[in-house]
Amino acid sequence: MKKFTFTIALCSLFFSSCAQDHGPKIQDELGPKYIYETVVDGIDIPWGMTFLSATEMLVTEKSGILYHVLDGVKSEISGLPEIYVRGQGGLLDVTIAPDFETSKVIFFTASSSDGEAAGGHTALYRAKLEGTSLQDLKQLYKGEGNTKKGQHWGSRISFDAEGHLYFSIGDRGNREVNPQDTTRDGGKIYRLNQDGSIPTDNPFYYEKGSKQAIYSYGHRNPQGMLTHPETGAIWVHEHGPRGGDEINVIGAGKNYGWPTITYGINYSGTPITSDTDLPGLEQPLYYWLPSIAPSGMAFSTSDNYPNWKGNLLVGSLKFEYLERLVITDNEVKERHKVLEGVGRIRNIKQGPDGLLYLGVEGKGILKIIPQPPLN
């Protein structure tokens, strides 16, 4: 296998809080050097990945291919539903059930054109993996309100300690309506039981007209989600517009503000709102100015990278590096730039071996190895 070695905030003047960069300035990574190794190549946009074992994984290709990878050799898995590939949409995240060793159940999200209206929306699926085929495929949830817009499908998946499944759907390019309306899909984090039923303690379960599966709302386009390894809380990050990418800790029934409050502006440079904080709306744990276009995130918890233990790693699509965030008491204290120029990082996972794996557009799956290599 081939090995490689390897601001100013953009705000309009009405944002007095944006007169300078927010939070700690990013630093170049110091200390131990790292190399990366290509473990799976030939995947254009490796959107999601999950480990089945130390040597086996599943990887989604956004164009609509699910790969089974064993010792670096990939083969296509059959039995997917029809994937509605449009804009940012396609085959998205994939993960295994907590009891995968016995159940062989996987979950994945994808863009779907199911429904009467033209266009598509994000859907969540469950299936049983048998060899290189999917059996007993079931659509557990699909956003209503199909649209031909190509942006903001989300979507990531995670589980809490009780086994509830969380997944995200972006606002689908309709920020004026979807994120703040609990009767509509889009701009939400959803919570289901693994069979697709809806927990009766969901915050909007008994609220007439609301989507019972919604757990939180007021989101723009969450493309990172994980369960905190110590607290068990669900963390997400989401794309802002021009500025205002956010990290949020998700709470039941909470409103994360988009677009009523935001630290970002329109791509044209015009304001979205002058409000960055209002009563009843949640503040992010952290926000980026300027935007880094975050995708995928993982906590480093192993001893393989001693300087990184307990740190949050986030991929940057825009600047093509891995960002390492040192967080203490839910406050970002340091930011470090790792693997600068590696490419558009779409996803990051910690493997069973404790090493970090990156899904990089145009390259495939890369493994970060401390240098000198581990014994």
| DSSP-H helix ranges across 143-197 | none
The answer on pLDDT for 286 being more than 90 is: yes
From CA 133, how far away is CA 77, in angstroms rounded?
5
Helix (H, G, I), strand (E, B) or coil at 101: helix
Q: Which residues contact 219 (CB under 8 A, 6 or more apart)?
A: 168, 170, 171, 179, 187, 188, 189, 236, 238, 248, 256, 258
- Which of 357, 231, 257, 371 minimizes the C-alpha distance to 298? 357
CA distance to 3, 53, 116, per residue, from 369 (Å):
10, 19, 49
Q: Which amino acid is at 38?
A: T
Number of residues that make up the chain: 375
State the pLDDT confidence band at 373, using cuts at 50, 70 and 90. Answer: low
* 3-class secondary structure per residue, 11-61: CCCCCHHHCCCCCCCEEECCCCEEEEEEEECCCCCEEEEEEEECCEEEEEE
Domain ranges of the chain: 1-10+23-35+50-55+292-375, 77-280
pTM here is 0.93
pLDDT in tens, 188-235: 999 999 999 999 999 999 999 999 999 999 999 999 999 999 999 999
Here the tokens at position 115 are: 């429904």
Here the tokens at position 277 are: 């904080």
State the pLDDT confidence band at 3, using cuts at 50, 70 and 90. Answer: very low
Residue of 68, 152, 237, 239 marked active site? 152
- Which of 97, 114, 39 minimizes the C-alpha distance to 365? 39
239 is catalytic: no
Mean pLDDT along residues 4-18: 38
Cross-strand bridge partners of residue 36: 4, 368
**For domain 77-280, is the CATH number 2.120.10.30?**
yes
Identify whether the C-beta of residue 332 lies closer than 8 Å to the C-beta of residue 346: no
Alpha carbon 18 to its chain centroid, in Å, reads 26
The whole-number pLDDT of residue 7 equals: 33
The answer on pLDDT for 11 being more than 80 is: no
The whole-number pLDDT of residue 207 equals: 98
- Which of 325, 321, 333 minimizes the C-alpha distance to 368? 321
Q: How many helices (H) and strands (E) does the chain have?
A: 1, 26
Here the tokens at position 359 are: 């899904």
pLDDT in tens, 128-144: 999 999 999 999 999 99
